[in-house]
A and B are shown apart, each in its own frame.
Chain A
């Protein structure tokens, strides 16, 4: 994660930014001052509640019932229960599958492909298609979930389409619930990757790809050896962001399948929500959320490694 200072600016005293290891605290503080608003916002509104949540995961806090009155500190019991819970391994696996298939493969590759095509295509086509892709993303969560449900359910759009070419209807939400929510999430989330990649590709100086083109490098090779390395950071960052977003996807799944049938699409957020809000076991639900943070951390570490490798 090197900050981009490959060329060192000539520094005039008291004007430009200096180099990191300056001995004088004063200037260090001056440099970090711009961070203050962000730190304040994060400190008050996120750090506090998160620390509180982590603490809560060691209690039997509940929304209702006896434990709502005076929650007890029970140590790591919630975590012990979680690892004994027969539903946990399944939810864990479904979450990883969901993230991998819908974000890392689906949204990411489709987003990159769309961004590249948009660069090549006629302006009008590119603009219209961009709007189509983005339309799925700007729909409010709950609406997108209904639209996806209407698309996949037994008498829905998809089966009506396949029927026109003589394919027997498939009950997607019952027979392939994971496939349905993965496709729905790709449909919903690709726009984000597309926009990130469009912005990243815009930053690639045209001279570089132009000169390569003149030198006759084939399209795919040029992409692989020149363009992709140049937007490597965007790829890693995008992967990280969509992974973390997809880890937390809840409404889409809840509306489409409610985690069913037989928990076959109950990812960790669904499990956490049910425990915390449906069964009011706040402590247990929070413990699941903490586990999700750890999973996110694992993914993030992998991406950071990827960034560093080269």
Chain B
């Protein structure tokens, strides 16, 4: 079947069915498969080359991090260490330095991401599926909430947490973080949901399923790549966020890695670069793994086009 996504504007659909003449090209007979596959492999080679170059550009700045983490005398200059050592890693792999903060980060980030995704999917459904007068004002209000640098509202947020006696509580901080990413998440989720054809739900309604059932069994499975983007987005933002937990959590046993990283910054502006780099690598691995796992987990990978044949 080839459903026409609801969001597809008419011109595009027209172009899809009768493209060529409009573009001033003579309409040729359909080329054989071999030609197109040859062309395809040529373009594949080019795409590979460009991508590899891009990947290098993104990777090179990270070389400092890797080299410094192996260097007993690391500084700011990117240089091959005179002696390679794993001492930096050994030094940071202690419960107090690494495990507890990373576990806290995990609790905070996974909690916030799960909460956000659930709330966003529920909220996006009516916004995407019904045409209500209420939708627009609501969406715009939510949207303007997203421009706010969270740093700027931390003072009243602190007061609020004091009032509600929620300071130093991991769950409450998780809820707050979820709230801060929710506007973005609602926007993203609604957008992904808009591109899921409604015709599929119709079938479910015919069978007498409620809208919630249709959402759970039809829409959400189809939105998996989109939801994965939302989840990862929130998880990573929460994972690296410093200021929110710094202000709202008091005990150092509850602080996530984003805050405890300051243990590598000493008196008078000293920095233990080697350990900082080693810790940063450890700190980044879980998120990279998450990305790889999630992108694998949804119908092959992000990299596979057409994983979504409705």
Contacts and interface: CB of A to CB of B under 8 A. Distances in A.
Given A34-B125, A120-B43, A122-B48, A205 B156 contact: no
A123 B303 contact: yes
Measured as residues with beta carbon below 8 angstroms from the partner, the interface class of chain A is 35 or more
B297 interface: no
B22 to A, nearest CB: 8
B64 interface: yes
Contacts of A176: none
Nearest to A277: B151
A143 B280 contact: yes
Nearest to B202: A9
A215 to B, nearest CB: 5
B229 interface: yes
Interface in B132-154: 132-136, 138-140, 142-153
Interface stretch (B12-20, B81-89, B91-99): B12-20
Contact of A205 (B36, B55, B310): B310
A237 interface: yes
B162 interface: no
Interface in A100-120: 110, 114, 117-120
Contacts of A52: 153, 156, 159-160
Contact of A151 (B61, B257, B288): B61
Interface in B1-39: 2-3, 5-9, 11-12, 15-17, 19-20, 23, 25, 27-28, 30-31, 36
Nearest to B26: A216
Contacts of A229: 8-9, 11-12, 15
Contact of B20 (A127, A133, A199, A216): A216
SS class, residues of chain B in contact with chain A: helix
B187 A141 contact: no
Interface string A275-306: 01000001001101100110111001000100
A34 B156 contact: no
B149 A42 contact: no
B64 A151 contact: yes
B47 A117 contact: yes
Contacts of A15: 205, 208-210
Contacts of A156: 64, 76-78
A81 interface: no
Given A42-B142, A201-B305, A125 B291 contact: no
A42 B301 CA distance: 33
A57 to B, nearest CB: 9
Interface string A111-149: 000100111111101111111111111111111101111
A36 B128 CA distance: 15
B167 interface: no
Interface residues of B, number: 143
B23 A225 contact: yes
B23 A221 contact: yes
Contact of B239 (A138, A147, A216): A138
Residue of B16, B57, B184, B186 with most partner-chain A CB within 10 A: B16
Contacts of A127: 292, 295, 301, 303
B182 interface: yes
Contacts of A206: 305-306, 309
B252 interface: no
Contact of B258 (A140, A160, A222): A140
B90 interface: no
A-B interface, 10 closest residue pairs, ranked by CB to CB distance from nearest = A296-B147, A4-B6, A16-B205, A289-B152, A45-B179, A52-B156, A140-B240, A38-B123, A126-B303, A129-B55
Interface of B: 2-3, 5-9, 11-12, 15-17, 19-20, 23, 25, 27-28, 30-31, 36, 43-44, 47-48, 50-52, 54-65, 68, 76-78, 115, 118-120, 122-123, 125-136, 138-140, 142-153, 155-157, 159-160, 175-176, 178-180, 182-184, 186-188, 191-192, 194-196, 198-199, 201-202, 205-206, 208-212, 214, 225-226, 228-229, 232-233, 236, 239-242, 257-258, 261, 276, 280, 283-284, 287-288, 291-292, 295, 301-310
Given A31-B130, A135-B58, A190-B58, 6 more contacts: A125-B48, A206-B309, A226-B15, A241-B188, A282-B155, A293-B148
15 contacts: A1-B136, A3-B129, A10-B205, A15-B208, A19-B131, A42-B142, A46-B183, A120-B44, A127-B295, A136-B62, A138-B284, A147-B62, A157-B64, A206-B306, A292-B148
